[in-house]
A and B are shown apart, each in its own frame.
Chain A
Amino acid sequence: MKQDLVSNPNSPAEDHHDVAFTTRLEDFINWGRKNSLWPLPFGTACCAIEYMSVVSSHYDVSRFGAEVVRFSPRQSDCILVLGTVVEKMGPILKQVYDQMLEPKWVIAVGVCASSGGFYRAYHVMQGIDEIVPVDVYVPGCPPTPEGIIFGLMKLQEKIAKGGIVRARDRYKLARK
């Protein structure tokens, strides 16, 4: 391979061992973070069934580096809330979120997690952003697997830009 490059007079690099490019350390870390998300599926309803499709071979979320699903909050950095969160479940979701290590992100998958959906009734939390800071909302009832992947890509864009920590700090200040 190296022989081919050297022998090709049109090759821009004489020796590709010398190839280097510069970046900021923050961007480099964010690039690593966005491409190795460890999701925690907080599945409470049908959105979790869609997420099973996302993880399995047909949609294959490992193409985006987010296939290492962990059921321990200590081992994950991206919690996907997949389904209806009732008032009784609220403190449990908060506890799981609090156990996750920084940096951490939240995706509200489906209308129930985002706004309560059609459960406009006494028992359902009207959106999980009442108790945890949400980074990406995925609409749909349930969203298609493509929709969930699109939400994940939006989160990746957000991580690449940085500023998520600042957004969460703003949220904490607003809630104090």
Chain B
Amino acid sequence: MPEIDTNLLESKIPGLMAAFSGETFSVTDYRGDLMVVVPAARLREVVRFLKSHPSLPFEMMMDLFAMDYSKKLPETPERFAVIYQLYSVTAGRRVHLKVFLPEEKPEVESIHDLYAAANWFEREAWDLFGVVFVGHPHLIRILCHGDFVGHPLRKDYPSDQYQRLKNAAPVSGL
């Protein structure tokens, strides 16, 4: 893990350290944008804090996606990760949040009620990686067809394992 630079985090997002005292965030800086590794249990609180930040509100969720590192590495403490990209329209700044999720139980709380855009992104991450978003109102497949078994973008899914769909699904329940 990279060194925790508290000064950097405080200068980029003032107040985050104070609001979550006792929590250690791992921070890296890439061309002025922060990548903050957040414990999965506190993700919702951090996102809510950033969304309603007094001077630096992150009003937009740009992207949400999962990663499969296939195994634990020194820089990746768990197999799965979910990355949230938030954008502040007023300040013109971005921040990336990353939560690591264990292979046995990849679960994180849903943020669909904070950002409506997260709804379909979370469905995509569940469909392709099998990450469960607790509290999501409609966590069903969004890209793969209804008869599909497994999560195809996991590293252990064989890339040439085709699954034939017999009948087209009715256009409903989107």
A-side interface residues toward B, CB under 8 Å?
87-88, 90-92, 95, 120-123, 125-126
10 closest Cβ pairs, A-B complex? A91-B168, A88-B145, A122-B152, A92-B168, A121-B159, A87-B165, A91-B167, A91-B165, A122-B161, A90-B165
B160 interface residue (CB < 8 Å to A):
yes
B165 cross-chain contacts in A, Cβ below 8 A: 87-88, 90-91
- Whether B145 contacts A95 by the Cβ 8 Å rule is no
Tell me the complex Cα distance, A91–B159, Å.
22
B166 interface residue (CB < 8 Å to A):
yes
Chain B interface bracket (under 10, 10 to 19, 20 to 34, 35 or more): 10 to 19
C-beta contact mask, B154-170 vs A, less than 8 Å → 1, else 0? 00011111111111100
A120 cross-chain contacts in B, Cβ below 8 A: 159-160
With CB as the reference atom, state the residue of chain A lying closest to B153: A122
Which of A87, A91, A95, A126 sits near B163, CB closer than 8 Å?
A87
With CB as the reference atom, state the residue of chain B lying closest to A90: B165
Which of A91, A92, A95, A122 sits near B162, CB closer than 8 Å?
A122
Which of A88, A90, A92, A95 sits near B144, CB closer than 8 Å?
A88
With CB as the reference atom, state the residue of chain A lying closest to B167: A91
Tell me the complex Cα distance, A91–B170, Å.
11
Tell me the complex Cα distance, A87–B161, Å.
12
B157 cross-chain contacts in A, Cβ below 8 A: 122
- Least CB distance, B123 to chain A, in whole angstroms: 15
With CB as the reference atom, state the residue of chain A lying closest to B158: A122
- Whether B168 contacts A95 by the Cβ 8 Å rule is yes
- Least CB distance, A155 to chain B, in whole angstroms: 27
Tell me the complex Cα distance, A63–B11, Å.
69
Residues 117-174 (chain B) with a chain A CB within 8 angstroms: 143-145, 152, 157-168
A92 cross-chain contacts in B, Cβ below 8 A: 168
- Least CB distance, B171 to chain A, in whole angstroms: 10
Which of B158, B162, B166 sits near A126, CB closer than 8 Å?
B162
Tell me the complex Cα distance, A95–B167, Å.
9
B152 cross-chain contacts in A, Cβ below 8 A: 122-123
